[in-house]
Structure formats: structure tokens, C-alpha cells
Structure 1
């Protein structure tokens, strides 16, 4: 059997090596363990929600949990990708690119928060390292309180 050809990044590719490419492709944008844990607890409390849904039809961004009638959008932010002040560490490889990427993510998060607030939504953000039980309880209490408010 002939040796497989070594992987060569396409012209203009951001991947610096085949190993880096595999690593980056393995990063999940949804259904992460912290998200699943929080969703499981919220669901067990009796609340139903949309997963990875757009809170607003014209907004090209999705929230991790969306409670449409209560107008609550929940985001579980990854410490690295969203610049957690407690856990973010600038990468050793290509730090300029990745630090700029995280800064753009943070700016987009603030823009998303603002747009949703202007549309009457409550935005809840949690870090992936926060206790799932505490996050879920906060979500449940908030959604139930907003549902009780006459509109």
C-alpha cells in the first residue's frame, strides 16, 4: 500500500499544520458539556426551550437556550473564546491573530446583548467554569419570574 500524501494546507489557509487543523475542527460550537449539563438541569425543572436558536429572526447569532415567551436568551460562554477575565490565557502560537479573534468575539457578544435588550429580551451569560446547578437554578428562577409578569 502506498504512503498517504502528507496534508498540505490550501493556499491562504489559517491552519499552520495538519494537527492544528484537526484540533480546531474538533472544537464544538454547540452541545458542549457545560451547555448539556445546564440544559439537563433546566429541563428536569420542567422548563422547555429552544437550543442553538436565533432569538430574533434578523439577528445572525444564536443563543444556547432560548425561552421565546419569556424573552430570555441564555449564553454559556467558553473561557477561551469569549475572554474570561479569570481563565483566558493568550496563546503562545500566533498570539496576535488569536487575541484579535477573542477581542472580536467579545465585541460581538456586547453587540448581541445590546440588540436583544433593545428588542425587550433579557440576556443571561454564564462562563463554562461556573457551577451548572447554580446557573440552572438562576435560569429557572428568572424564566419563571418573567412568565409571571403580565404583558
Structure 2
């Protein structure tokens, strides 16, 4: 009985995890729009289906959760239960991120990764400064930028 209940609880918890329209993503989208930048969301024909695509600037923005994308920061901890499952899953996510980055670069797209820890937690950055850095990067010719917590 306990195993079935645990499995049902796990399934409900996993179902609550959003793949798009997360709070950090919405914050970034709102700031980009307020700065006059226009974008498309989750473009399916691009590798990795980026969270935000700015076609005019040939730039994409990924808003990565530190846990799901295995960022080595204060917000990431390896789970203590089902360790083999989680290692395989999170390692596969990280490997897919690398393949996606290579494919986007090969296709001529510039890439930004904003980590969750830049926006929340004990080492979060000032949001306005973070957005100024991102917007300056979008308007520049730099190939890539990664913004994490301090």
C-alpha cells in the first residue's frame, strides 16, 4: 500500500513541475518586453525548443532550473532516494543541453542561459542588473552569455 501511495504522490509532484511559463521565465519575458524587445516562445523547429527566441537578434534565451539542469550551485542537491534514477536523468539532461548548444551554434544562433540561482536563493543577483546584462548581450554581437548566482 505504501509503495502505491508513494508512487502516486511522486507522480502528482512531477506533474506540478512546469516546462514553460515558470515564474523566472515570466519575470524575464516581462522585462524584455518592457525594454522594447520582441520575441517568440518555445520555437519548436529550433534545437532544444528555446524558452525565448529573438529572431531579429538571432538570439535564444534558456531559463534553466538549477536542479533539472544540474547546475553546481547552492540550489542543486543530488536526491538521496532513487539515486541511480536521478543521476541518469539529470546527466541525460546536461548532455542534451550540450548537444542543443552545439546545434544552435552550428545553425548560427547566439545563446543565453539564465540560471534559476541568478533570480532566487541566497546568492541571487540584483534583477535589474541581471536584465541589463542580458539586454546588453542581446543587442551585442557576443556569441554566448551565462548568468548564474553570485
Q: TM-score, normalised by structure 2?
A: 0.79
Q: Residue 118 of structure 1 aligns with which residue?
A: 106
Rounded to whole Å, the distance in 1 between the matches of 2:105 and 2:9 is 41
Q: How does 1:135-150 map to 2 (within 5 A)?
A: 135-146=130-141
1:32 has 2:5 as partner: no
- Closer/same/farther in 2, CA of residues 69 and 39 from structure 1, 3 Å limit: same
Q: Is the 8 A contact 1:82 1:106 kept in 2?
A: yes
Q: Is the 8 A contact 2:46 2:104 kept in 1?
A: no
Q: Residue 3 of structure 1 aligns with which residue?
A: none
**Larger RCO (alpha carbons 8 Å, 6+ apart):** 1
1:18 has 2:8 as partner: yes
Residues 131-140 or 81-90, more deviating? 131-140
Rounded to whole Å, the distance in 1 between the matches of 2:106 and 2:112 is 15
Larger radius of gyration: 1
- Closer/same/farther in 2, CA of residues 32 and 58 from structure 1, 3 Å limit: closer
Q: Residue 72 of structure 2 aligns with which residue?
A: 85
Rounded to whole Å, the distance in 1 between the matches of 2:98 and 2:58 is 18
Flag structure 1 segments of 5+ consecutive residues without an equivalent: 1-5, 10-14, 147-151
Q: What is the aligned residue count?
A: 132
- Closer/same/farther in 2, CA of residues 27 and 58 from structure 1, 3 Å limit: closer
| Alignment RMSD | 2.1
Flag structure 2 segments of 5+ consecutive residues without an equivalent: 119-124, 142-150
Q: Residue 133 of structure 1 aligns with which residue?
A: 128
Residues 31-40 or 134-143, more deviating? 134-143
Q: Residue 42 of structure 1 aligns with which residue?
A: 32
Q: TM-score, normalised by structure 1?
A: 0.79
